Structure formats: structure tokens, C-alpha cells
């Protein structure tokens, strides 16, 4: 039996693992994939001590740090948490005294006609993953937050023209917005929505709700995310209205022995940042250590 199982592979989970090693716990990390949402960021310039670092690079630093500590990691998907704190994956079951849920979030969809039809055929949800495929093409980015602006800025390295569709008003950090507006390749279309995505085998046009169309070959959806809290909900962990896990200051949930950290929680004024996720991971492990003792 393990003292602790950490479920997740992002900043919160990996930070929790570093502290679990320091507390000399017998623990296991289970993650479908390592790196978390950091891998989807173009450039990170607000993580203390790391200036202007690529998202994939900072994620690699996190993973390399944990692996250097000889942490036991299982790359598998957790399917269920059973009574008695048995964690069931697609391949095996593991028993533990405590659990940290750090399963993060998944991207929101536009829910418009043609979106599902052209998913991975021009409609994408990870700019870092897919931007190089759109070299010298015209694309549209849907999103007015930091992720939308970062997406547009990254695409300037590849695309010929980038339309940024702002459904209400720009909410991104001032710096990102200013940088985007300075780029000749980027054109802002404010208070407009995409009504439909069209194409043949691949995307070739989007229809806007003002009746106009854009001839584009790519649609980058950057409109936020949903918490991956289904495991928690099924086990009886309390969630807020948005599906985030409710935790106290020590990252404890309503169930003794189950903690949560990172983007999946309702803590920190819902300020979803790498640095706050890493902080919550450390706090969660400290909470586990106190619980076990």
C-alpha cells in the first residue's frame, strides 16, 4: 500500500511529487501524460526565475526535476477511485492511504456547426501542438483571454494572416494585447461570433454572425476550459457550480484523505497560473503529510 497517490502530470502534480519525496513518503504518480497545460503555452514569462521560456521547455524542466528524484511514475489513465482508496487505471489497481487530485482542465468547444466534423482537419485546440502545420495559411483564433492572445502571437511565426475573433471584449493581460495589436499579421474582429465552420476535406471558410465570411484554413479555439473533476464527483468530493473541487486552505476536500491542487480547484480566486498550481501542489503534499501523521 502507498502512503500517497498523486493523480495528474502537470505543475500541481509534479510539485506535489517533489515535496512527497522530501517528506520521504511512499508514493506514486499516475498521469495519462506528463507536462500538463504548460506544454500548450507559447511563451511563459511570469514564472519566477524563468524569463521568457517556451511552454514546452518549462514543462520539460518540471518533468526532468521529478524524474531526477527517481519518483515512481505510471503513465496510464485513472478510470475510477473505489472505496478504501483503491485507484483503478486501465491496466491495474493501486491501494493508498491518501490521494492528491491534480487532473487539471480540458479545452472548451465552440459548439457550432462544423466544429466536430472538422476537428483535427483545421479545427484545433492546442496552438503549441499544431501551429507549424499552418505555415503561410490564413487562420482565425477564437478567444479574448491570455490563451487567445498567446495563440495569436505564436501563430505570427507561421501563419500568413491571423484573425482574432473577440466574442465580447478583450480580457487578456495588457502586455499580451498590446503585443498582438502591434503585429501587422493580426486583425481583431470584436463583438463577433463564429456561426459555422465550412470546408471540403479540410476547413476553408468560417461564417460569422454578422453575415460575413472569412476564407481561412485553420480555426484555433482558445475559449477556456472545463475542470476534469469527474473522478472526484463520482467519489463524492464536493464541487462548486463550475465543477471545480472545493478545498480548504490546506487543499483538503470534504473527504478525509483526499486532497486537490492546481487548475481543478476552486481556491486562489480561481487564478489559474503555473505558479499557483505549483504552490497548491506543495501545500497539498504538506496537508497529506500532516494527515498521515
Element (H, E) at 199: strand 194-199
Q: Taking the C-alpha atoms of 52, 53, 58 and 64 in order, what is their torsion angle to the nearest 10 degrees?
A: -130
Partners of residue 226 on adjacent β-strands: 106
Q: Which three cell numbers stand for residue 106?
A: 480540458
Sign of CA dihedral 266, 9, 60, 14: positive
56 pLDDT band (50/70/90 cuts)?
A: confident
171-221 confidence digits (pLDDT tens) = 667 887 888 888 999 999 988 999 999 999 999 999 999 999 999 999 999
Please list the alpha-helical segments (H only) found in 195-293.
230-235, 274-292
Predicted pLDDT at 277: 94
Domains in the chain with CATH codes: 4-107+225-292 (3.50.50.60), 123-221 (3.50.50.60)
- Report pTM: 0.79
139-152 confidence digits (pLDDT tens) = 999 988 888 888 89
Answer whether residue 129 shows pLDDT above 80: no
Q: What are phi and psi of 210, to 5 degrees?
A: -95, 5
215-262 confidence digits (pLDDT tens) = 999 999 988 888 999 999 999 999 999 899 999 999 999 999 999 999
User: Sheet harboring 4-7: ordered strands across?
Assistant: 73-75, 27-31, 4-7, 99-101, 258-260
Residue with more model confidence, 24 or 173: 24
* CA–CA distance, 171 with 194 (Å, rounded to integer): 18
Amino acid at each position: 500500500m502507498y502512503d500517497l497517490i498523486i493523480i495528474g502530470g502537470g505543475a500541481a502534480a509534479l510539485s506535489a511529487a517533489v515535496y512527497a519525496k522530501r517528506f520521504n513518503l511512499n508514493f506514486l504518480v499516475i498521469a495519462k501524460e506528463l507536462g500538463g497545460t504548460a506544454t500548450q503555452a507559447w511563451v511563459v514569462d511570469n514564472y519566477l526565475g524563468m524569463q521568457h521560456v517556451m511552454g514546452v521547455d518549462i514543462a520539460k524542466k518540471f518533468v526532468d526535476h521529478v524524474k531526477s528524484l527517481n519518483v515512481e511514475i505510471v503513465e496510464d489513465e485513472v478510470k475510477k477511485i473505489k472505496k478504501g482508496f483503491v485507484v483503478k487505471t486501465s491496466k491495474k489497481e493501486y491501494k493508498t492511504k491518501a490521494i492528491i487530485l491534480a487532473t487539471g482542465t480540458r479545452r472548451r468547444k465552440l459548439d457550432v456547426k462544423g466544429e466536430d466534423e472538422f476537428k483535427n482537419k483545421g479545427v484545433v485546440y492546442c496552438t503549441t501542438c499544431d501551429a507549424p502545420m499552418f505555415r503561410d495559411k490564413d487562420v482565425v483564433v477564437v478567444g479574448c483571454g491570455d490563451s487567445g492572445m498567446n495563440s495569436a502571437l505564436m501563430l505570427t511565426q507561421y501563419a500568413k494572416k491571423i484573425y482574432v475573433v473577440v466574442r465580447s471584449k478583450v480580457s487578456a493581460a495588457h502586455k499580451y494585447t498590446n503585443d498582438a495589436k502591434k503585429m501587422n499579421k493580426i486583425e481583431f474582429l470584436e463583438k463577433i461570433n463564429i456561426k459555422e465552420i465550412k470546408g471540403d476535406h479540410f476547413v476553408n471558410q468560417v461564417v460569422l454572425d454578422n453575415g460575413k465570411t472569412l476564407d481561412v484554413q485553420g480555426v484555433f479555439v482558445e475559449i477556456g476550459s472545463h475542470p476534469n473533476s469527474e473522478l472526484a464527483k463520482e467519489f463524492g468530493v464536493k464541487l462548486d457550480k463550475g465543477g471545480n473541487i472545493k478545498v480548504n486552505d490546506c487543499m483538503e476536500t470534504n473527504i478525509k484523505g483526499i486532497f486537490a491542487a492546481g487548475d481543478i480547484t476552486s481556491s486562489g480566486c480561481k487564478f489559474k497560473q503555473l505558479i499557483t498550481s505549483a504552490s497548491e501542489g506543495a501545500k497539498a503534499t504538506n496537508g497529506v503529510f500532516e494527515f498521515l501523521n
